[in-house]
Amino acid sequence: MPRLSPALSLASLLCLAVASAGTSYGVATWSKSAPKINAQAGEITASLGPAEPVKNSANDGGTGLPIPRFVTLKADKVNVRRGPSSDHPVAFVFQRKGLPVEITAEFENWRKIRDSDGAEGWILQSMLSGRRNGFVARWSDNKILDLRVEPSPNSSVEARLQPGVLASIESCDGLWCEISTGGYDGYVEQSQLWGVYPGEVVD
């Protein structure tokens, strides 16, 4: 594991929790502000140092898939490097399978990614999955999002989701997404998820 520097910060993964009928579910946080490991969440902090210049082109051995696009981490531990090769140093480490990231460029079998905090780096393509997950309203510290039984603002509420909840995206029609999290299934407004684009259809 690379030596982590407390001088730089990436941002924080907010507490994941679901509350419904007096029942709540949650896991703790991961912060990228200082070298700190949270044993409960199994997530690690790190710093992203100055990036080295790299060739950054979607046409250099790329897949031809849309760029940008969202994917998820396939493994519990994923090294994020400062450039598209194993010779580049590790900038930081993800330690949670299923986290959503955005591919912004491709180079051979490497993918440049950006996380929900805006941190960027390069990951081997084999460490990424096309499975779609998303964060609920990560940009809002206070907004509680209703998980509804049907894709309608008038539908009954199945659960209430706190900002930062990680959910599995089952489908989206451009306005609403069907998601599952904490043992609950339902619908949220698509605009309230990080991990899917506004108007994007997910089957």
93-127 pLDDT, tens digit each: 999 999 999 999 999 999 999 999 999 999 999 99
Residues 42, 68 within the same domain? yes
> What residues make up the domain containing 96?
1-129
Which domain CATH number covers 148?
2.30.30.40
Q: Are residues 26 and 114 in the same domain?
A: yes
Q: Do 79 and 138 have their domain in common?
A: no
Residues 6+ apart with CB under 8 A from 145: 136, 137, 160, 161, 162, 163, 165, 188, 189, 192
Q: Which residues contact 111 (CB under 8 A, 6 or more apart)?
A: 71, 103, 105, 122, 123, 124, 125, 128
Q: Are residues 98 and 162 part of one domain? A: no
Q: Which pLDDT score is estimated for 139?
A: 77
**Is the model's pLDDT at 88 over the cut of 80?**
yes
Out of 66, 96, 129, a domain closes at 129
**pTM to 2 decimal places:** 0.71
pLDDT over 70 at 31, yes or no? no
Say yes or no: 118 and 47 in one domain.
yes
Instruction: Check whether residue 24 and residue 112 sit in a common domain.
Output: yes
Is there a single domain that holds both residue 6 and residue 102?
A: yes
The pLDDT value recorded for residue 4 is 38
Residues forming beta bridges with residue 194, ordered by sequence position: 135
Q: How do residues 172-191 score in pLDDT, each as one tens digit?
A: 999 999 999 999 999 999 99
One domain for residues 109 and 148: no
Report how many domains make up the chain.
Answer: 2
Q: What is the pLDDT of residues 13-25, one digit of tens each?
A: 333 333 443 333 3
Cα separations (Å) of 112 from 101, 115, 180? 10, 10, 28
Same domain as 143, residue 177: yes
Examine the domain organization and report whether 176 and 194 are in the same domain. Answer: yes
Mean pLDDT of 59-85: 90
Show which of 129, 160, 180 is a domain's final residue: 129
Two tokens, residue 25: 């579910």
Residues 178 and 148 in one domain: yes
Q: How do the residues of the chain divide into helix, strand and coil, expressed in percent and rounded to 5?
A: 5, 45, 55
Is the domain of 117 the same as that of 29?
yes
